[in-house]
Amino acid sequence: MSTATSENPRTAKLAVSGMTCASCVARVEKVLARVPGVERVAVNLATEKATVHASAAVTDDQLVAAVAKAGYEATPILPEAPPAAASAPPRFDRELATVFASALLTLPLLAPMFGLALNPWLQLSLASVVQFGFGARFYVGGYRAVRTFAGNMDLLVALGTSAAWSLSVWQMLAHGDMTEHLFFEASAVVITLVRFGKWLEARARRQTTDAIRALNALRPTTARMRDRNDPSREREVALADVRIGDIVVVRPGERVPVDGIVREGRTHVDESLITGESLPVTKQTGARTTGGSINGEGVIAIETTAIGAETTLARIIRLVESAQAEKAPIQRLVDRVSAVFVPAILAIVAVTLATWFWHGADAETALLNAVAVLVIACPCALGLATPTAIMAGTGVAARQGILIKDAQALEQAHAVEIVAFDKTGTLTVGRPGLVAFDAAPGQDRAQALGLAAAVQRLSEHPLAKAVLAAAQDAPRFEARTARAVAGRGVEASVNGQRIAIGSGRWLAELQAEVPPSLATRARDLEAQGNTVSWLIEETNGRNAVLALLGFGDTVKPTARATVERLARMGMKSALVTGDNAGSTQAVARAVGIPVDLVFAQTLPDDKARVVAQLKASTKGVVAMAGDGINDAPALAAADIGIAMGSGTDVAMEAAGLTLMRGDPALVADAIDISRRTYRKIRQNLFWAFVYNLIGIPLAAFGMLDPMFAGAAMAFSSVSVVTNALLLRTWCAQAGAVEDARAGKPITRPA
């Protein structure tokens, strides 16, 4: 057990066993909140975990003792310990065997219902084994609840089945062989069905943690490391022994063990389980790698940059676990109902008994109707409605490369009405591209592009790379004696001719004549915020313009389709950037954002102010998507911040949602997942309440047999969890977004 010494706040996590319903959750939260120094508590029935935010003076021993006082068992979850979801529940098969054995003993008790005689003493023997053997857990749980002056599902089941069993024993002793007056089957069937329902529930709940299990499965346990003293030697070591700066070698087909930078080799890496990107990603010298991804065909040497809890995979797991542990705001309704649920049910049971007796019913009729009320009223479904949907939603989001920081962000995202986008790195690629290449009248465009590529081939300048990327299909020429001219451009000898690429300033110094059509085109491009360069050839002592080159940031392939999809979903898109008005308006036109929602030349503080204005202009939720340090104030100011995974840690820290790929299509995907998850939460709560609103009156009025009540109660929990699991079938809505991902040509922003 840990004992903190500093006064810094801490977050403790406990594995809590013995909880069966929403009332149990409320009780555990209540006792933990009473511990001095505890600030906030969230208990999740689906994961059977408690997350406690407290001062550092609060020890694990105090928290465990508080849970034990409430009648439950708790075990601290150490930070280095793997999540419980990573392994199969230890009692899973034993529980199924218990249900099967209980069913075998219960089946003979149904014989009298079909007109078959069964010895009363045999019925008593079979029913007693089921009641006090397989039903012992309900007595234990019910005792703990009573001891702490609380109520839970176990108490209701124990009271209901005990009443049916006791009534049968009394009838057997009073009527002898009159077996038609015995109701042993009611108590036995209810216990069997409830235990079967809990087994199905546990089985379904386990599927909601598939995302965490899949992420934990990505963690390698060993790494092949180069010896620190003799780099020619390699040895396999435990991953915990790897340190920052160590060189790790990864062979084809192996899982990358660390976050790092490729220092040797070239390969393709499958990062699909981390980023959601289905295609392998090229990795060469200087590229960053993420631990947990799978190496393709090449051998690579990686310099370690992050280990342990600081790796990308560890941070992803923490984010997903955090979102699944926290409560959504809508859960407050369930908490209020749970606080009074069991006392209210016991009051209804008392009224049911009294009313039936008042109207002259015999004891067995009144008692059986009261038992039916007790059995059907178990609040299991209420406790599972919200957490199972959140777990399924955050899990499917994580598999698609969408990390949800907390349940509040997930719930709020369904109400987004305006999405404000940053420009550079969010809607655009974030690096210069050749957006225009116009040959002078009388010049062959392909020939001119080949000459430009020849001049730039030996340069490492970003603009040179943009030219080479655009000239892959152009004729190839070899340049000689290339040299850079400071502040002006670069020149080289190509096929004996002097060819230069330079700025407008150098163009003027060289006194090269610019064709009128290219001069007009240059003004248009510069008005849009692009950089214009010129391809110049010296012939017979005179300089002539061969072509105009326009450089600008290119719009991402999925940007326009994303804005259109958001519009179909009923949302507006805005553009908020610090870039100049010309380039901002060009990008806005390219992606389809209206002029009145374009905000250019905004400083970081101004971005936050613009977001505040957007929030004031709508009754809905405003989301901000960005990737840079300068976006952090706006991400924090928005109702929901969405950080692009290609961006900075500062932006990711300020955001409620993090996209592991810099693909704007994930913004629409994230909101769609949120909407579907919130819809599942409401559906689950509706069904959980409806089961009780319909079932309790039916039972009270004698229209529901205790056995059917038990079946309905078990089915309510299973149906809620199964409905939540339907979220796992979610996939991105295709259409234009998928067309863009498939590689359709990018039109230049004009």
pLDDT at 208: 59
pLDDT at 1: 41
What six digits make up the tokens of 556?
A: 């991402």
pLDDT at 667: 92
Strands 621-626 and 640-644: parallel
Q: What is the CA radius of gyration of the chain?
A: 34
Backbone phi and psi for residue 682, each to the nearest 5 degrees, phi listed first: -65, -40
Contacts of 513 (CB under 8 A, 6+ apart): 544, 545
Strands 657-659 and 640-644: parallel
- The answer to whether 532 and 634 are in contact (CB under 8 A) is no
Cα–Cα separations (whole angstroms), residue 442 to 533, 541, 544, 654: 19, 20, 12, 54
pLDDT at 333: 65
pTM for the structure as a whole: 0.67
pLDDT at 440: 92
- What's the rounded Cα separation, in Å, for the pair 370 and 282? 68
Strands 49-54 and 10-17: antiparallel
- What's the rounded Cα separation, in Å, for the pair 558 and 338? 46
Would you give the DSSP letter of residue 132? Answer: I
- What's the rounded Cα separation, in Å, for the pair 207 and 105? 30
Range list of β-strands (E), 25-123: 38-44, 49-54, 73-76
pLDDT at 623: 92
What six digits make up the tokens of 688?
A: 């959980």
pLDDT at 171: 76
Active-site residue (options: 60, 210, 246, 422): 422
pLDDT at 654: 59
Report which residue type is found at 458: L
User: Which of 445, 556, 561, 543 has the alpha carbon at shortest distance from 498?
Assistant: 543
- The answer to whether 395 and 677 are in contact (CB under 8 A) is no
pLDDT at 419: 94
Flag residues of the chain having pLDDT under 50.
1-6, 81-92, 647-648, 734-750
Backbone phi and psi for residue 544, each to the nearest 5 degrees, phi listed first: -125, 145
- What's the rounded Cα separation, in Å, for the pair 645 and 659? 5
Backbone phi and psi for residue 424, each to the nearest 5 degrees, phi listed first: -70, 120
User: Which of 552, 584, 556, 510 has the alpha carbon at shortest distance from 666?
Assistant: 556
Active site residue 422: yes
Helix (H, G, I), strand (E, B) or coil at 367: helix
Report which residue type is found at 607: K
- The answer to whether 52 and 33 are in contact (CB under 8 A) is no
- What's the rounded Cα separation, in Å, for the pair 705 and 186? 8
Helix (H, G, I), strand (E, B) or coil at 8: coil
User: Which of 492, 499, 496, 451 has the alpha carbon at shortest distance from 471?
Assistant: 451
Sheet of 621-626: strand order equals 402-404, 657-659, 640-644, 621-626, 416-421, 572-576, 598-599
pLDDT at 745: 33
- What's the rounded Cα separation, in Å, for the pair 56 and 629? 31
- The answer to whether 405 and 655 are in contact (CB under 8 A) is yes
pLDDT at 743: 40
- What's the rounded Cα separation, in Å, for the pair 396 and 697? 38
- The answer to whether 357 and 366 are in contact (CB under 8 A) is yes
Report which residue type is found at 569: M
- The answer to whether 269 and 295 are in contact (CB under 8 A) is yes
Q: Where do runs of H (alpha helix) occur along 311-435?
A: 312-325, 331-358, 363-376, 380-399, 407-412
- What's the rounded Cα separation, in Å, for the pair 658 and 625? 9
User: Which of 345, 385, 255 has the alpha carbon at shortest distance from 720?
Assistant: 385
- The answer to whether 262 and 301 are in contact (CB under 8 A) is yes
